[in-house]
C-alpha cells in the first residue's frame, strides 16, 4: 500500500513537473520580452560607451598599464579576443551591441540574433565594472539565446497556420487582430513603417493563438524568483536586516541617493517597518504569491512600484530596469491585451481619419 502510494505520488510529481515545463504557452510574452530586451540593449550599450572607452580605448586604462586589474571572466569576450587596446574595438563592441539590440527587437532571424546578442553582452558584462543588474542582463541574454535556438522567439509568420495574412483576399482578418486592435493609423500605409509597426506593435500583442512549450518562459520566471528569494536569504545574514535597521543606514547614504532621504533618519520605526516589509516581500510574498493566480497581478504591481520607487530615489543602475523586463515573463496574453487597451487614446491620436475619409470617398465613388 505504501509502495503504491509513493509510486502514485512520484508519478503525480513527474506529471506536475512535465506540465510545468512543457505545457503549451502563448508566444506573446516571449516576443514582447525579445522586443523590450532588444530596445533595452540599445540604451544599455549606449550607456557603456564611456566606461568602455575609459578602460579599453587607445589611451585607456588597460593600454596604459598592460594588466589593469579587472575581474577575471571565464566567458569569451571581444575585448580579450581582439586585444589591440584601441578605440576601434570599443566601437566594434558598443556599435555591435547596439545593432544586435535593434536586430533582436526587429524579429529578423530570431535563432541567430539572440546568439549574436549574447556574444556582445558577454563582452561587456563584468568585463566593464558593474553590479548585480549587469549579471541579470547576462542571464537574460543566455535565456534569450536558449529560447531563440529552440525557435520560440520567431513571430510564427513562416510556416504557421496562424500566420497573419499579408493580403487578405476577401477574408476577414483573424478575430484577434480586429480593426479595433490594429488601429487605423497612417503608419500602416507606408510599406516600411507599416511593416515595422505591425511587427513591433501589432503582431506580438495579437498572435496569441500560437503556442510554445512553457520551459523557455520558465527559465526567466525561475530566475526572477531566485533573485528575490536569495536576495532576502543573504540579507538575513546581516544583522542590520535582521534587526530592521538596514533601511535606516541606506537612507543615510547620501552618496547613493538621488533625493535627500536623511529625513527618514528621524523615523527609525518607519525604516524598521520598511526593512521588514522588504525582507518579507523578497523572501515570501513574491516567490510564493506570483504563482497564485489571484495574487499574480497585485504582486507584480507591488514589485513595479517597489522598483520604480528605488530607481527614483537611489542611484542604482540597470538592476531595476532589467528586473522589470523579467516581470514580463509572468504576464499572460490577456494581460497584454489589457495593457495595450490602456494605450487606446494614443491609438486614437495616431488614428488616421485621413485613410478613413479616403476609404469613405472610394466607397462613395466621390
* Cβ count within 10 A of residue 58: 13
For other proteins, the binding residues in 254-283 under the rule CB under 8 A are 254-256, 265-266, 268, 271-272
Site string for other proteins, 311-350 (x = CB under 8 A): ----xxx-x-------------------------------
Eight-state DSSP code of residue 158? T
For other proteins, the binding residues in 183-222 under the rule CB under 8 A are 183-184, 188-189, 191, 194-195, 198, 202, 210-213, 215, 218-219, 222
How many residues interact with other proteins (rule CB under 8 A)? 99
Kindly state whether residue 298 participates in binding other proteins, applying the rule CB under 8 A: no
Eight-state DSSP code of residue 36? H
* Cβ count within 10 A of residue 129: 10
Kindly state whether residue 240 participates in binding other proteins, applying the rule CB under 8 A: yes
CB-neighbour burial class of residue 16 (10 A; exposed 0-12, middle 13-18, buried 19+): exposed
Kindly state whether residue 159 participates in binding other proteins, applying the rule CB under 8 A: yes
* Cβ count within 10 A of residue 42: 17
At residue 322, φ and ψ (nearest 5 deg) are -70, -30
Could you give the count of Cα atoms lying within 13 Å of 206 in the half-sphere of its Cβ? 23
Which range of residues in 93-101, 114-122, 284-292, 338-346 is near other proteins by CB under 8 A?
114-122
Question: In this structure, are residues 251 and 228 in contact, taking their beta carbons and an 8 Å threshold?
Answer: no
Kindly state whether residue 109 participates in binding other proteins, applying the rule CB under 8 A: no
**Smallest separation (angstroms) from other proteins to the CB of 147:** 12
Closer CB to other proteins, residue 5 or residue 67? 67
Kindly state whether residue 54 participates in binding other proteins, applying the rule CB under 8 A: yes
Give the Å distances, CA to CA, from 171 to 160, 165, 288, 323.
17, 9, 46, 42
**Smallest separation (angstroms) from other proteins to the CB of 2:** 26
Sole binder of other proteins in the list 22, 81, 301, 338 (CB under 8 A): 22
Closer CB to other proteins, residue 66 or residue 345? 66
Amino acid at each position: 500500500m505504501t509502495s503504491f502510494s509513493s509510486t502514485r505520488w512520484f508519478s503525480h510529481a513527474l506529471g506536475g513537473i512535465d506540465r510545468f515545463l512543457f505545457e503549451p504557452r502563448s508566444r506573446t510574452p516571449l516576443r514582447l520580452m525579445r522586443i523590450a530586451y532588444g530596445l533595452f540593449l540599445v540604451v544599455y550599450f549606449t550607456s557603456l560607451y564611456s566606461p568602455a572607452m575609459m578602460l579599453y580605448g587607445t589611451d585607456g586604462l588597460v593600454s596604459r598599464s598592460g594588466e589593469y586589474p579587472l575581474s577575471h571572466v571565464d566567458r569569451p569576450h571581444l575585448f580579450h579576443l581582439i586585444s589591440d587596446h584601441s578605440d576601434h574595438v570599443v566601437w566594434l563592441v558598443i556599435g555591435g551591441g547596439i545593432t544586435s539590440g535593434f536586430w533582436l527587437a526587429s524579429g529578423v532571424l530570431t535563432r541567430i540574433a539572440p546568439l549574436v546578442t549574447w556574444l556582445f553582452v558577454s563582452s561587456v558584462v563584468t568585463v566593464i565594472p558593474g553590479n548585480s543588474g549587469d549579471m541579470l542582463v547576462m542571464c537574460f541574454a543566455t535565456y534569450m539565446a536558449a529560447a531563440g535556438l529552440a525557435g520560440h522567439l520567431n513571430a510564427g509568420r513562416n510556416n504557421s497556420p496562424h500566420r497573419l495574412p499579408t493580403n487578405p483576399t476577401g477574408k476577414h482578418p483573424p478575430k484577434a487582430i480586429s480593426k479595433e486592435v490594429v488601429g487605423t493609423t497612417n503608419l500602416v500605409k507606408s510599406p516600411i513603417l507599416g511593416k515595422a509597426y505591425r511587427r513591433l506593435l501589432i503582431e506580438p500583442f495579437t498572435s496569441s493563438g500560437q503556442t510554445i512549450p512553457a520551459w523557455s518562459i520558465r527559465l526567466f520566471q525561475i530566475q526572477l524568483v531566485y533573485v528575490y528569494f536569495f536576495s532576502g536569504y543573504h540579507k538575513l545574514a546581516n544583522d542590520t536586516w535582521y534587526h530592521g535597521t538596514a533601511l535606516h543606514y541606506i537612507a543615510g547614504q547620501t552618496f547613493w541617493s538621488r533625493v535627500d532621504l536623511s529625513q527618514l533618519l528621524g523615523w527609525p520605526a518607519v525604516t524598521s517597518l520598511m526593512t521588514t516589509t522588504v525582507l518579507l516581500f523578497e523572501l515570501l510574498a513574491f516567490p510564493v504569491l506570483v504563482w497564485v493566480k489571484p495574487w499574480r497581478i497585485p504582486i507584480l504591481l507591488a514589485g513595479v512600484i517597489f522598483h520604480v520607487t528605488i530607481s527614483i530615489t537611489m542611484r542604482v543602475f540597470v538592476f531595476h530596469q532589467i528586473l522589470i523586463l523579467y516581470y514580463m515573463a509572468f504576464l499572460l496574453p490577456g494581460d497584454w491585451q489589457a495593457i495595450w487597451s490602456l494605450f487606446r487614446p494614443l491609438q486614437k491620436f495616431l488614428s488616421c481619419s485621413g485613410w478613413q475619409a479616403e476609404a469613405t470617398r472610394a466607397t462613395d465613388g466621390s
